[in-house]
Amino acid sequence: MNEEAFRAFFTANFGDVWAFIRRRVATDEDADDVTADVFAVAWRRREDLPSGAERMWLFRTGYNVLANFRRGVERQRQLHLRIVSVDPPEVGYEAVADVDQELWSALAALSGSDRELLLMQAWDGLEVAEIAAVLQVSAPTVSSRLYKARDRLQRELHRRDRQGRGNVQGESHGKGSTRR
């Protein structure tokens, strides 16, 4: 792939990759930096890009670059960043609309892998096979895990409905803990 072809490749995929990254970092500037790193990997490996599967390759590379990025960034994040972190620390709800608090709270109570699967589907719009390509696991595995993750989210929401929002906001479940 020559320089001209790479520029076309960049233009065709930039928006999707930037959005994928932006959902997982704190600021537009962070998204710019991480996206540049993803395409830097693509540039130096431009002869090895899988023909016909470049987009998923970029997402998978973005997923890996984000893992490195997270190692080095202060974890003072907005709520949605806490949620998608692999190992989220405490989360706060000060900036979250009331109508969304219950869902965020339920999401925070799930495991990191459950959250990632659900948000890849809901936010990134990835199909099962595409999620499998990004995570490098089999599609049946993703399908099964996704079903269970949805089920756990649903049960968590129902549990919160039963107990009443006011009684559960201060509890801690799994890796995510909540506080007001």
Binding residues for other proteins, rule: CB under 8 A, are: 3, 6-7, 10-11, 14-15, 18-19, 22-23, 28, 31-48, 61, 64-65, 67-75, 78, 80, 86-87, 89, 100, 103-104, 107, 112-113, 118-119, 121-123, 135-137, 141, 145, 147, 150-151, 153-154, 157, 175
Q: Token digits for 159?
A: 């549990």
Q: Give strand ranges (E) for 77-151.
A: 91-92
Give residues with Cβ within 8 angstroms of 76, minimum separation 6: none
Kindly state the smallest distance separating residue 7's Cβ from other proteins, in Å. Answer: 7
Decide whether 47 or 52 has the Cβ nearer to other proteins.
47
Q: How far is the CB of 108 from other proteins (least distance, A)?
A: 12
Residues 88, 86: Cα–Cα separation, whole Å: 6
Q: In angstroms, what is the minimal distance from the CB of 52 to other proteins? A: 19
In this structure, the dihedral spanned by the alpha carbons of residues 52, 124, 119 and 94, taken in order and rounded to 10 degrees, is 150
Give me the least distance between CB of 159 and other proteins, in Å please: 13
- Closest CB 150 distance from other proteins, rounded Å: 3
4 vs 180 by CB, closer to other proteins: 4
For other proteins, give the closer residue by CB, 118 or 168: 118
Cβ closer to other proteins: 59 or 104? 104
Using the minimum distance from each CB to other proteins, give the nearer residue, 45 or 163. 45
59: nearest Cα among 132, 150, 6, 109: 132
Least distance CB 58 / other proteins (angstroms): 11
Q: Which is nearer to other proteins, 99 or 164 (CB)?
A: 99
Phi and psi based region of residue 164 (left: phi greater than 0; alpha: psi -120 to 50; beta: remaining) = left
Distance between CA atoms of 55 and 59, rounded to whole angstroms?
A: 6
Sheet holding 172-173, edge to edge: 91-92, 176-179, 172-173
